[in-house]
A and B are shown apart, each in its own frame.
Chain A
């Protein structure tokens, strides 16, 4: 397989969104999130600790810290503002079972930019099935009507 085809397969995998449950004051809705990893340092992997974009699950979930960029559509922005926002932040992944393939968790912080301005968020996650599925709760106290967002993370690669 050519490098271009391999990159194409990886790119298609990145298009799979993670569905969101958006919980704001007096409001519940939905959304979708995508995630890219421009750079990740894995301290759990045997070789090649620095990865960019193409990150194998074991490199991430055996213990790593990543810089992520997450475009997101989360419903219900106030005053009919655009519901798109983008987050950029750092996230630490730590293994719990079977070097993280069976179970791992994460903690992170990010800065978001939305139509009404930007501020900080914190998130906590739990992942299983080789990191393919997980739950990630993002708390953004100053993101009106979207203060708590729970993502069912789907990440094929």
Chain B
């Protein structure tokens, strides 16, 4: 009986998945041309800032922690996997990115691990941190590629980056999700008393968020994905929507949140603007201010802690 139920659930999800994939493909084929970012930042170094974040788009964020810069999930590609065009250009030109202390990659999906984008920052970072199993699926680069298990840390010159658990799926080419069962993670960056959470892609896993809060009780900032949200049944395990993102924010106990992972590529049934609009509605319902949750435009940089 249990086996039958599992088969029915698997078939149901597979059919839903096929339907969703077909709809996403149709929407991608009729996607509008890539939108330009007005007033793109030329020099992202902010001398007045202790903590600043520039949303490059999707899960790519350039973080400044005092005099250190880190870059999350760098993706500058105009088309993902030759099928999904970018809706808005990257929020900073890759050549404007300053010397980085590290790059982190949360998992191997094409919207998070872009080999050609890593080419663009290859000479600007000494290390790229990845979850277990990813190194064997990456080309050779000049930088060090270091795998971090959950709760393991990389430390250099006062900057500590710790891999933290999230709920997602590994793999890059669909089938390999079956083999790469540990190849996804979030990270916490710590430097000079500042600490920033980066969720990458995650489903709602209260135990992991609470455990991260227990280890990092004074998070200055949480970068949390809010999309894809629909179809919810299909996304439930792997992605938090706006509502659950705010639940995660509460469990993490961070002082501020910046939502990421929306309106850059089409990878769901969500209409453009649907996820941030829903987030705003949920913020109003919960009494959260825009100082607590800052919804950035692509290319916008926000100083979160001043000197």
Contact residue range for chain A? 20 to 34
Q: Is the CB of A58 within 8 A of B137?
A: yes
Instruction: Report the separation of the CA atoms of residues A31 and B159 in the bound assembly, to the nearest whole angstrom.
Output: 59
* Interface assignment of A71: CB less than 8 Å from any CB of chain B: no
Q: Is the CB of A57 within 8 A of B173?
A: yes
Instruction: Report the separation of the CA atoms of residues A5 and B174 in the bound assembly, to the nearest whole angstrom.
Output: 15
Partner of A46, one of B141, B172, B178: B141
Q: Is the CB of A59 within 8 A of B140?
A: no
Q: Is the CB of B115 within 8 A of A101?
A: yes
Q: Is the CB of B82 within 8 A of A46?
A: no
Instruction: Report the separation of the CA atoms of residues A18 and B178 in the bound assembly, to the nearest whole angstrom.
Output: 23
Query: What's the least CB distance linking A96 to chain B, in Å?
Result: 12
Q: Is the CB of B115 within 8 A of A98?
A: yes
Q: Could you say which residues of chain B place their CB within 8 Å of the CB of A54?
A: 179
Number of interface residues of B (CB under 8 A): 20
* Interface assignment of A62: CB less than 8 Å from any CB of chain B: yes
* Interface assignment of A108: CB less than 8 Å from any CB of chain B: no
Q: Is the CB of A128 within 8 A of B135?
A: no
Binding-face segment, A6-14, A80-88, A116-124: A6-14
Query: What's the least CB distance linking B42 to chain A, in Å?
Result: 27
Q: Is the CB of A99 within 8 A of B139?
A: yes
Partner of A58, one of B116, B138, B178: B138
Instruction: Report the separation of the CA atoms of residues A98 and B110 in the bound assembly, to the nearest whole angstrom.
Output: 12
Q: Could you say which residues of chain B place their CB within 8 Å of the CB of A57?
A: 173
Q: Could you say which residues of chain B place their CB within 8 Å of the CB of A48?
A: 136
Instruction: Report the separation of the CA atoms of residues A130 and B173 in the bound assembly, to the nearest whole angstrom.
Output: 8
Instruction: Report the separation of the CA atoms of residues A157 and B174 in the bound assembly, to the nearest whole angstrom.
Output: 9
* Interface assignment of B176: CB less than 8 Å from any CB of chain A: yes
Residue ID in chain A nearest B179 by CB atoms? A6
Q: Is the CB of B139 within 8 A of A45?
A: yes
Query: What's the least CB distance linking B171 to chain A, in Å?
Result: 9
A sample of 18 cross-chain residue pairs with beta-carbon separation below 8 angstroms, ordered by A number, consists of A1-B181, A5-B178, A10-B178, A45-B137, A45-B139, A46-B135, A46-B138, A46-B141, A47-B135, A48-B136, A58-B115, A58-B139, A58-B172, A59-B136, A102-B116, A128-B82, A129-B81, A156-B173
Please name the 7 residue pairs, one residue from A and one from B, whose CB atoms are nearest each other, closest first: A99-B139, A47-B135, A47-B136, A48-B136, A62-B139, A98-B116, A99-B115
Interface residues of A (CB under 8 A from B): 1, 5-6, 9-10, 13, 44-48, 54, 56-59, 62, 98-99, 101-102, 128-130, 132, 156-157
